[in-house]
Amino acid sequence: MRVFIQFLILGVSGLILAGCDASTDQRAADNRGFVFCGPGQPTTFNPQLTDGGLTADTLSSQLYDRLLRLNPKTYQPEPMLAKSWEVSEDGKTYTFSLRRGVAFHRSVQFTPSRYLNADDVVFSFRRLIDNNHPYHPVSGGQYPWFDSMDFSGLLKDVKALDTYRVQFTLSRPDVSFLSTLATNFSVILSKEYADQLLTAGTPEKIDTYPVGTGPFALAEFQPREFIRLRRHWQYWQGPAPMEQVVFDVSTRGTGTLAKMLTGECDVLASPVASQLPVVVDDKRFHLSSQTGMNVAFISLNTRHPALSEVEVRQAINLAIDRNALLSSVYYGTGAPATSLLPPMSWAYDPNSQTEYNPKLAAALLAKAGYRQGFSVDLTVPMKPTAFNPSPRKTAELIQADLGAIGIRVNIIPEKTVNRVAIREGDDAHDMVLTGWVADNGDPDTFLRPLLTCNAKFTGWNMSNWCNRYFDQKLNEAIATEDTEARKALYIEAQTILNRRMPVVPLAHGIQHQVRDASLKGLTMTPFGADSFADVSRGR
């Protein structure tokens, strides 16, 4: 693997970089490719089947396009595969006009006979919402991100009006719908490819041998080693400067920081905060930072005897020293969370506050009848994330803080939180250290999937909390296009959360990315990696 990547960087491997010879000029050699190093192993190449990770956060924007994309400055939806759209007066019908001449990838498995059309859009979304669709159960039949927001309950129907017009019909008005279509999850697949695979009896290949319209296509995948993408020459926005991109997903050998320092990586995605001092003053590298649309929090199971008491939940919130957390875990690169919504959200409540007051916390415990404290389990996924660079260390700090007021915390390491068990009503968890990364700029994407009554049935509402007044505020907010009215409603919803405290917000992480200084056009967004379609090298 190391030899493979070194040859890619040097631009001398005839196997990896086809067409390389001694007469090629330096710029052409530089633009043959770059190596992207980051955490995670893909379990699928279809982001519809995931709730995050490498596939949704990074690969999606390379392999696929969406109807809409988010403007990098305003975070508002703008045209992508859809060149325009109309919305009915009742806010329930959206009609999109598609671009013409958009080509799908060619591969060993598939040679497209036509350009993208309305049938592809209908297929991509009907698979998600129609239990009787032949592709709905393929690859497990779970669509976690869409399930978290009750997408099948929102999208009533999608149909082709003609070759290049598609109509979506909603069950209720939802002004966040356009933002949903702009996320990295809402990708457009090829119906022609799907039909071919279904006839061959291999429908699952649509998710493991992907075909999209993005700037790059899958060329090779060696599990736990590397993913190689090749340039899509017929990309509708013009071919990318780079011939290929290699994702180093190996887990053996030196760590990613060491690979960056030795030149085996051109890009280091999501370096942990403790690694930043090593690269920040090195002129070979460029460090980019982006305030993240994310939050780390503790989910409190409101069915637990002690945690069912509001005073106990408020006591837990008051007992946690967030400044110590930011210093020890985030190394000063995060911000304390006073709400689930980060400060960069347009609906953030500037009056929300978080107090560290262990004395008041102990008094609230006594008031709730727990003067002697109690024991509780804290489930802790071990994987570092943008919102929590060291979950284990965070858990230990929480354990110490709560221990100081008499709450004895047992840390339960877990690779992943079992949302299926939670969805089916399993109350085995007491508290869960978790977090959320928004996939668009709308505040609804934070609050609805995590805390509404319907979210209890998706496994994302790990607090098992249901407040009809809170749900009412969110439903009113997505039914109006008046931004100021929406903001007022979201602030009311945040006030309810601050009083009832089903979750304890901890911190908002800052996203970092280190790249070789010669790379140009590599951008970051709060929602995941942007397209590599404009990445090149400059000397």
Question: How far is residue 309's CA from residue 501's CA, in Å, rounded to a whole number?
Answer: 10
For the entire predicted model, the pTM comes to 0.86
pLDDT, position 41: 84
In a domain, 374, yes or no: yes
CATH number of the domain within which 330 lies: 3.10.105.10
Helix or strand (DSSP H, E) at 154: helix 151-154
Q: Are 101 and 114 members of one domain?
A: yes
- Give the range of the structural domain holding residue 521, as residue numbers without chain letter: 1-45+214-291+512-539
CATH number of the domain within which 170 lies: 3.90.76.10
Q: Are 281 and 332 members of one domain?
A: no
Q: Are 173 and 248 members of one domain?
A: no
In a domain, 56, yes or no: no
Q: Are 31 and 76 members of one domain?
A: no
64 in Cβ contact with 82 (< 8 Å): no
Q: Are 76 and 119 members of one domain?
A: yes
Q: Are 366 and 452 members of one domain?
A: yes
Choose one of 206, 225, 255: the last residue of a domain: 206
pLDDT, position 10: 39
In a domain, 53, yes or no: no
Choose one of 190, 206, 222: the last residue of a domain: 206
Read off φ and ψ for residue 240, nearest 5 degrees.
-70, 150
pLDDT, position 31: 61
pLDDT, position 163: 98
pLDDT, position 250: 83
Residues of the chain with pLDDT under 70: 1-31, 251-254, 415-428, 528-529, 539
Q: Are 323 and 256 members of one domain?
A: no
pLDDT, position 21: 43
Question: How far is residue 175's CA from residue 487's CA, in Å, rounded to a whole number?
Answer: 13
Read off φ and ψ for residue 497, nearest 5 degrees.
-60, -40
Q: Are 152 and 258 members of one domain?
A: no
Q: Are 362 and 487 members of one domain?
A: yes
Q: Are 520 and 500 members of one domain?
A: no
In a domain, 57, yes or no: no
Q: Are 249 and 286 members of one domain?
A: yes
In a domain, 58, yes or no: no
The tally of CA atoms less than 13 A away on the side-chain side of residue 164 is 12
In a domain, 168, yes or no: yes
The strand pairing partners of 162, in sequence order, are 165
In a domain, 52, yes or no: no
Choose one of 177, 206, 235: the last residue of a domain: 206
In a domain, 368, yes or no: yes
Q: How many domains does the chain have?
A: 3
Q: Are 500 and 520 members of one domain?
A: no
- Angle CA 509–50–347, to nearest 5: 45
CATH number of the domain within which 218 lies: 3.40.190.10
3-class secondary structure for 175-219? CCHHHHHCCCCCECCCHHHHHHHHHHCCCCHHHHCCCCCCCEEEE
